[in-house]
Structure formats: structure tokens, C-alpha cells
Homo-oligomer: A and B are copies of this chain.
Amino acid sequence: MSTSPKAALLEEYALVARALAAPARLLILEQVAQGERAVEGLAERTGLTFANCSQHLQQLRRAGLVTNRREGKSILYRLTDSRALRLMELLCTVAERNLAEVGQILRALSGGQEAPEPLSRDELEARLAEGSVTLLDVRPADEFALGHIAGAMNVPLATLPEALPQLADGAEIVAYCRGPYCIYAHQAVAALRRHGLAARRMEGGLPDWRAEGRAMSPPVAGLS
């Protein structure tokens, strides 16, 4: 051991943090947290070059945040475990609570309105069981297809205006999206409330729901 064990440990810890220190990798993590995806799919969705995306993925892998497995020609990446997800979320939480800039951006997303407290996943589960809530998955259709909360209705943010009429029948609306780093649910709730509908966000996102072993609609096979 040429360097001290302490220095070696710190270097490893810093390696993990460095993996989270580039916006492009956070985008990738956000996608990987939704379910298994091949490099090509990730590159498309994040708007990164193929090779660039591959390199970022390897950095994430060296940091232990993602894992991959081979399936046919493709190599599918996924989050290593729920700890990686918690790390992503804690990063958000610290930034939201301690950085004024983040608070401003999030408040601007709500369009000046007061955003209601998010609904806990426990409570949402209970209210889904008694049918007293309309659950919206506001992610794009292909991510919805990769797995979603059982009983959720897919209304991508872009199609929300058209879906407004069928939502106006009274039941409180709860929206969720990808979870960490994703602002779709914020935007959806703001839009719904501007139209006078009672809407809240679910706390966290789809990855949290899945990590807790709650009821899911299974993914459809054969998507890159």
C-alpha cells in the first residue's frame, strides 16, 4: 500500500461523488432509475452522443452507482441498488433545502402559486385502495410502458391539456414522474391547479415506489 489507507478511502469516496458531479450523468441516472435500458436508448433520451454516453456510463459503473448485464447484443444498465437511488434523492434534498437558487427555480415552476405538500406513498397506496384518487403518470409514454404504478393513467405532460375534460369529475388528482431530478410532476400539478383542479404531487417518483415493493404494472418486454 503506497498511499495511506485513509487517503485511498477518501479517493474512493470522492470518486463516487465525482460521478454525480456532471449534469449529463445526472440525466443518465434519472433514466436508468426508471428501469433497465441499453446504451443506445439512454443516449437518445438524454441527447448525448453514443460514445459520450457510454463513457459516462462507465464512470457511473466504476462508482458503483449502476450495474449492467448483457442481453443478446445489447448491454442493459440499471441502478445497482436502492442506496444509489437514496443518494440521488438526498442530493436533491440538500440542494433544495440549502440552496436559495434551487428554491427559486422550483417556485417559478409552480407559477407563483403555493404548491401543496406532496402526498406520501403510504397514504397514496391507502387512497388508491379505496378509490378516492385519480393517479396520473406524467412521464412520456415509452417510460410508462417500461413499468408504472398499478392503476395509474398515462398523461404525458404535453397531452395534459387534452386530458383535462376527463379529469374534471371531482376526485383529487395525484401526479408522479421520474422522481429525482424530474420536474414533470411539479409542472403538471401547477397546470392542473391553474385550471381549478385539486392536484398534488406524490412524494418521490416511480423508482421509490418500485424500490418499496409496491404494486406495479409490469414492463413490456422488447424495448431498447
Contacts and interface: CB of A to CB of B under 8 A. Distances in A.
A94 B108 contact: no
Interface stretch (A6-14, A37-45, A116-124, A147-155): A6-14
Residue among A11, A16, A17, A98 with most chain B CB within 10 A: A17
B87 A90 contact: yes
A21 to B, nearest CB: 4
A102 interface: yes
B87 A83 contact: no
Q: How large is the interface on A (under 10, 10 to 19, 20 to 34, 35 or more residues)?
A: 35 or more
Contacts of A108: 1, 5
Contacts of A16: 91, 94-95, 99
A60 B94 CA distance: 12
A9 B6 CA distance: 33
* A-B complex: 9 closest residue pairs judged by Cβ atoms: A64-B98, A17-B20, A10-B23, A18-B21, A17-B21, A64-B99, A21-B21, A12-B102, A16-B95
Interface of A: 1, 5-23, 26-27, 63-65, 80-81, 83-84, 86-87, 90-95, 97-99, 101-102, 105-106, 108-109, 181, 183
24 contacts: A5-B105, A8-B105, A9-B181, A9-B183, A10-B23, A12-B101, A13-B20, A13-B26, A14-B20, A15-B99, A16-B91, A16-B95, A63-B99, A64-B99, A80-B98, A81-B97, A83-B90, A83-B93, A84-B98, A86-B90, A87-B87, A87-B90, A87-B91, A87-B94
